[in-house]
Structure 1
């Protein structure tokens, strides 16, 4: 096991770039600092190169620095948990798909303004990454468009979200030929979403892959930018459309059959949600408009 004092010495040397200044900060002799680094290098191999301009970390040195930072983060999380479960204090971490993430992030900021003691960490990720992050305790909460079967995950319905056919504001879509004329603005989930929705709107259509592809982006917040410019149409979830900054430049095609996806809230089943997470879930549910399922 690596001695905590050795690690503190290593961290100080890296931060200050100098054995003498590290010794002064830690109230040690320079010989003691050198001895601590020697102990570490005996265990791990060379950690740093002494260059004329300062110290340069080796790959092992970078790995040890990452380890030390992870230890700091783990210690902070432990202190947070031992200090009591306060709904207004501490770290809250969650991971979501892009569309719902666009909808909830402003609401999370509003929650943090009301409770400045919260530190909210929100990441975007695909379904597989959401499952992994919650199972690995890298996120307390996750939202996913698929319901997991893993018994280690507690799952509940969070909200529902419709897929929407979005066209430039001046366009009218009456049939498949109109879509072929406009062309498709694609995104990572574009073909799946468009196939599911358009197969209901236009039964027997020749398929999304037969449509002209006018563009592609993997940034959820930018999918509708080319649509707003009149360059094509797209199919995407409602929350992504509602977050678009120029709603006057786009139009949702109404009076078409609905495809509504469920969004599932996930957390580890072995222990209850923290008070912070419980507060956040209630806060978000109160501010999101559910899309009711339709036949």
Structure 2
């Protein structure tokens, strides 16, 4: 590794054209300036042609000088990034479960369209994997369905999300026998969600006895067979609201509701940058507005 102080001395010697003036500008002795150049040349080869009243860079010297300039520019960029926390500029790495991720992703794209200096990386993952991703530094922020008990993580409520009983559009109400006739469209969390919601809406009925009509592990495709009238399913609200063919499905409402809390998590050891804070606040507002409304 080349000593950055030697590189700075070379730049100053070149810009002033003199070892003496460089020493004055750097607040060093002329002997120290000469020593810096000698050590740099010992590492890189001859850099300067010393002529009476003139110093000229060799081809190697020009290369090293350009490298010194690049190093200075990189240092300036780093200092700017460390001191300036622009809420509309920089990288954001976010991980979310599939349900809310379907609703968030178009919003994230809209933010990147409005703010071209913002770079957003979004990953779909289960909550346990998201927790580990934030701990490992692979994600800056995450949304999970439980508050992890880890001293290195900060967790705060982000949004409440209801479970929805989703049927084909032509069905306006459903008895237990009608649900049995329709059959269940399952997914990785389907049975668990169905037990929680249907167990309350239809107390005393055995959810596990519902006939299976289909299964998919692709969150964006779970409602396709429901829209075709092939069965019903239970999904979180945001997965339902993100589905494009709303006219082909219907959410049956009833009491009591089953509502989960989504938690925002990030590392507790350092403050969340302004760009993350702004985006999280904007997303929380956008999620409660109709999907057709946008806002800067």
Query: TM-score normalized by structure 1?
Result: 0.70
8 Å Cα contact 1:111/1:283 also seen in 2: no
Distance 2:203 2:285 in 1: 37
Return the alpha-carbon distance in structure 1 between the equivalents of residues 186 and 159 of structure 2. 25
State the 4+ residue runs in structure 1 displaced beyond 6 angstroms: none
- Unpaired segments of 5 or more residues in structure 1? 5-74, 291-295
Question: Aligned residue for 1:178?
Answer: 178
Aligned partners of 2:147 and 2:263 also within 8 Å: yes
Cα offset for 1:248?
0.5
**Corresponding pairs, count:** 216
2:139 paired residue number: 139
- The aligned counterpart of 1:230 is 229
Q: Judge conservation of contact 2:201–2:254 (CA < 8 Å) in 1.
A: no
Superposition deviation, residue 110 in structure 1: 1.5
Distance in 2 (CA, whole Å) between partners of 1:172 and 1:283 is: 35
Structure 2 equivalent of residue 68 of structure 1: none
Which has more radius of gyration? 2
Deviation at 1:288, TM superposition (A): 1.3
CA distance in 1, matches of 2:162, 2:206: 23
Q: What displacement does 1:128 show?
A: 0.7
Aligned to 1:88: 88
C-alpha distance in 2 between matches for 1:256 and 1:248: 24
In 2: Cα distance, 1:139 partner to 1:276 partner: 14
- Looking at structure 1, the residues matched to 283 and 136 of structure 2 have their Cα atoms a distance apart, in angstroms, of 24
The alpha-carbon deviation at position 81 of structure 1 amounts to 4.3
Q: How far apart in 1 are the matches of 2:112 and 2:83? A: 20
Q: Which runs of 5+ in 2 are unaligned?
A: 3-73, 290-296
**Which residue pairs with 2:268 in the alignment?**
269
- 1:237-280 per-residue CA deviation (whole Å, 9 max, x = no partner) reads 01100111101111111233200000000000000001110111
Q: Does 2:259 match 1:260? A: yes
Tell me the TM-score normalised to structure 2 length. 0.69
Q: Using the alignment, how far apart are the partners of 2:127 and 2:285 within structure 1?
A: 24
**Compared CA separation, residues 81 and 134, structure 1 to 2 (3 A):** farther
